[in-house]
Structure 1
Amino acid sequence: MLDDSLYTVETPEQIELAYDVAGIGSRFLAAIIDHFIIALILSFSCIGVSLAADQLALGLDEGLIIGLFGLGIYLSLCAYFIFFETVWNGQTPGKRMIGLRMVRTGGRPLGFLGSTVRNFIRLADFLPILYGIGVIVMFIDRRSRRLGDMAAGCIAVRERKAITLASLAAPITSEQAVVAAAERITIPNLHAIRPEDYDIVQEYLRRSTSLSVQARQRLALQLVDGLQQRLGYPLRTENGLALGLYDAETFLRLLAAEYQARDRIGREPVQSSPPLAHEPGDLV
């Protein structure tokens, strides 16, 4: 069964990354903030243009003035969104405040071209008034996309909390687990694990509680498959996991604890040892 609240992307390393799809409510709040900012900008701009027109006594036709004013609003809307979504990698002030970001299919950055396409089609979404068509399409589409999003091949996702150096330093596993792992390093060739590999494991452990059970198990097994290539011996067998483990997440937690323990005892490289005999367990 498809989970419409998640958008999964498979990386070249065959690891699936999951994004939380932004709903209509959060996108509406972000749009209110952005349009309020645009309204302020246009208000000051109109005052300036009015004063300049009075000084120059241009005497333009009223219909032409209305047409130019409407065109100016449309171009200002497009310019605002294109500028911020390009410079801020898929975000505008409103999206940043609500915690949203636009990404291309495959998890790629939106970019200038993608932002230009989605925003110049904004006029079609706006019709007949106040994004009438756009809202209807968003209700119909299971990923809450409007016409511009579909044309640009992009999707609005929730921005996850940024990873900081402080958060990376904070161990995910318990203090007791780290101490216990320091006393018995049981994973052979642990020195082959790179800091980037450890960071990926830590990120999984942080996000695991927000994933569905199926997605959690699937991603854990994919990480184990990638790590066994790094370690140089099989971690999965036809009957289960090696090293006497019962599920993939247990292995990831143990690896994180032992990696932290190795750093605790002086960052000394762990000597390679022959792989332990396989003790199959049942996958959860």
Structure 2
Amino acid sequence: MSELVTGDAVVLGLRPAKLPSRALALAIDLAVVGAAFVLVSIGLAIATATLDDAALAAVSVASFLLVLVGGPIAVETLSHGRSLGKLACGLRVVRDDGGPIRFRHALVRGAMGVVEILMTLGVVACIASLVSARGRRLGDVFAGTLVVRERVSAGRVAAVPPPPPWLVGRFSGLDLSAVPDGLWLAIRQYLTRMHQLDAQAGRSMAERLAVELATRTGVPVPEGVPAGAYLAAVVNERQARDARRVFFAAQTGSGVPAGGAVASAPMGSGPSVGGAGAGSVPVVPAVEEGGAARAATGFAPPA
């Protein structure tokens, strides 16, 4: 486990990918991109058979840049760090602070990849990854990114604390379809480690995540609701929807119910109410108020 420190002095635990898994992911990506380049080259050769040598050279350079360089950059940007090879190996590119990458990060990684992967057959990338404590190649160092493992065994995943009882079900009408996986990951990391953080740094991070989540859902954070409690309640709502979706799919075999589009990956696990009933949701301990509520959920009720 690597301890990554965010700009708010918050320590996040991410599991950096090792060289073998990264090499396998890269091999898959290169095979796909190489096949695409061959097909494009054949098509261009047929289409430009009447051009002179200078024009053919220009077309060849353009196809190289667009397919072998621009292709991976576009894929990493649109998928927020998950190319086909990384998806197959359970890896993902994230920023140093654990957030999702953007175009500038993918551009730097792609530009450096031409030198350390394509021009040197991956030798420079392998050496840099072996020397780096977190397995980063030069493109990761200059872009400020890190390749991490997304798939970890269930026994190693920390449970997300339940929300305060007074917030359970309050966000049932939120549209969560626009919330990206990277934001869910950051929220989960905060919730599972909020008691280990400095109070001021933790509050700052919770407020930033709450604002970003509210922007994605289109509904502002309710007045008087602490940012941490709001995050826990929305995550609980996502878990409840996932539980209903899985049950519905198991009973009918028809997938997601109409109007019930939800995120695909559960954020945690826990016992449910009503056994296998259609409305089963994670159990929230029944508590009274004040200190009991904080002890059970980690959040205090509003004054």
Asked if Structure 1 and Structure 2 have the same fold, meaning a TM-score greater than 0.5 normalized by the shorter chain, the answer is: yes
Q: Give the Å deviation of 1:220.
A: 8.0
Match of 1:80 in 2: 71
In structure 1, how many angstroms separate the alpha carbons of the residues matched to 2:83 and 2:149? 13
Query: Any unmatched runs of 5+ in structure 1?
Result: 173-189, 205-218, 231-255, 276-284
Query: What corresponds to 1:282 in structure 2?
Result: none
8 Å contact kept, 2:37–2:68: no
TM-superposed CA distance for 1:87, in Å, is 1.1
Specify the code of the residue in structure 1 equivalent to 2:123.
G
Greater C-alpha Rg: 1
Shift of residue 81, structure 1, vs aligned partner: 1.6
Alignment of 1:1-284 (within 5 A): 5-10=1-6, 12=8, 16-54=11-49, 57-58=50-51, 60-61=52-53, 65=56, 68-70=59-61, 72-126=63-117, 128-160=119-151, 191=165, 204=192, 219=193, 221-222=195-196, 270-272=288-290
Cα distance in 1 for partners of 2:94, 2:194 equals: 24
Is the contact between residue 134 and residue 146 of structure 1 (CA under 8 Å) also seen in structure 2?
yes
Rounded to whole Å, the distance in 1 between the matches of 2:283 and 2:35 is 58
- The one-letter code of the counterpart of 1:6 is S
Alignment partners' CA distance in 2, 1:100 and 1:258: 29
Is the deviation greater in 149-158 or in 134-143?
A: 134-143
> TM-score, structure 1 length as denominator?
0.55
Unaligned runs of 5+ in 2: 172-186, 204-225, 227-268, 274-280, 294-303
Question: 1:67 offset after TM fit, Å?
Answer: 6.6
Conservation of the 8 A alpha-carbon contact between 2:110 and 2:139: yes
Q: How far apart in 1 are the matches of 2:140 and 2:166?
A: 43
The structural deviation recorded for 1:108 is 2.1
Identity of matched residues, %:
25
Contact 1:149–1:155 at 8 Å: present in 2 too? yes
Query: Deviation at 1:15?
Result: 5.5
Offset at residue 6 of structure 1 (A): 1.7
Partner Cα separation in structure 2 for residue 99 and residue 132 of structure 1: 23
Deviations 1:53-80 (A, max 9, x none): 23xx11x22x774575355324322222
Deviation at 1:7, TM superposition (A): 3.6
More off after superposition, 63-72 vs 121-130: 63-72
Structural RMSD (CA): 4.6
Give 1:149 deviation, angstroms.
0.9
Q: Is the deviation greater in 65-74 or in 30-39?
A: 65-74
* Secondary structure, counterpart of 1:106 in structure 2: coil
Structure having the higher helix fraction is 1
Q: What CA distance in whole angstroms lies between the structure 2 residues aligned with 1:38 and 1:154?
A: 22
Partner amino acid, structure 1, of 2:113: R
In structure 2, distance between residues paired with 1:18 and 1:220: 12
- How has the CA–CA distance of structure 1 residues 162 and 71 changed in structure 2, closer, same or farther, with 3 Å as cutoff? farther
Q: How many residues align?
A: 202
